[in-house]
Structure 1
Amino acid sequence: MRINILQHTPNEGPGAIRAWAKEHGHELYIYHPYQFDGVLPSADTTDFLVILGGPMSPNDDLFWIKQERQLIKELLAKHVPIFGACFGAQQIAKTLGSQITKAPAKEVGWAPVYLKSTVISGLPKRLTALHWHEERFEIPKEAVHLFESALVKEQGFLVGDNVLGLQFHFEPEADDVREIALNDRTYPNEGNALKQSTLDILQAEVPAENKAILFKLLDFITQ
């Protein structure tokens, strides 16, 4: 399987998705449209699309952000698996007609998310995830609401059996958390409802179950 990954900032890479791909014998192709003039894969070369987070908004008037949504639209029509994290989930939701707005609270740091649906079996009712956002998506009309948090209800959705969007992050491993937090170190200090500093975030251990849960989710949408 060819996994095309859209990365939107240097410090938010595929993390544990790379390990999942290696375990299954898949190949990763990573694109950086924010830097390289909007270079994107074609729908015909995409067996699985991963859309990562970033500091931009789907509402920004940038040509490559709109081109990403066109790619998502083509892949939705072809029933190709898609996974979006944070900005990536917002891009999927906007493609499906949902609004992207400011969240009721800025969430930056480690906080619980709660399971809203048992459509994917074997998921715990409560998980601790990394949050790094201040916008939210509406749950698409055709989607199942999967996760919520105490501050922002719209934390995850599933469309059909092959499209998953998560507002939070399960993909970062310890090295990835350090890369995110060290390079975006001022972001947690500005109106953060979780009241966590960069140091707090760095000192917390990545829950061991997050990688296993991510693998289960990716297995589900690519089965």
Structure 2
Amino acid sequence: MLYLNSLNGKVLKWEENIAGICLFLISFLVFFAALLRAVGHPQAWMSDLSQLLFGWVIFLGSDLALSQKRHIGVEFFEEKLPMFWRNRIADIWSVSIIGFLGFVAYYGWFLATKSRREFDSLEISEFNVVIFLAVSFLCLLAFDFFRSNKKSLQGYLFSLLVIVLSTAYILFSWDISKQAEPLSYAFLIASVPVGCVLMIRTELVSVAERWSRKNG
């Protein structure tokens, strides 16, 4: 259970870092887009990129809020029940939440794969998207490593290996285009299934912790 909590904490820290960077970029892009529009030099790509990042901030932030139990809830009636029934209600809610998130993740992925809309002002090749994501994850991994106590070197090396092998597999196995084309809305819609899967993970960890306390 300790290993599970440690791994979950690492994932949440990464999510927090990514969401924070995206939120900073959104503020930066929106401010300068308005400034450039005011002086007669509008930049449509800034608005489109901030819209793309906003979707990811929403779902990463939702998972962070779920992990800290900061979503809206009504506890007035629950607090009047014995602990046994509180645990049973919590289990029922967890199953309901996981089922709902699974449903949304499935159809979110379906919409992402079927999306035909594009950001006309954002042109980039699929090859550059893969490289950008790989480099971004490597930078986050390095940043997290130097901020940590550096004791879990094996875990970081394993994460590094996964990133490198995954990138190599995509580049050599997928039909990756190097021609710049308008970025698909699929990259925005993909935040829905990814965010839902992350929240399912968080809810499963919460269930595991609850059962560990009951049986421990």
Relative to its length, the structure with more helix (as a share) is 2
- Which has the larger strand fraction? 1
Asked which structure has the greater RCO (Cα within 8 Å, sep 6+), the reply is 2
- What TM-score, normalized to structure 2? 0.29
TM-score (norm 1): 0.28
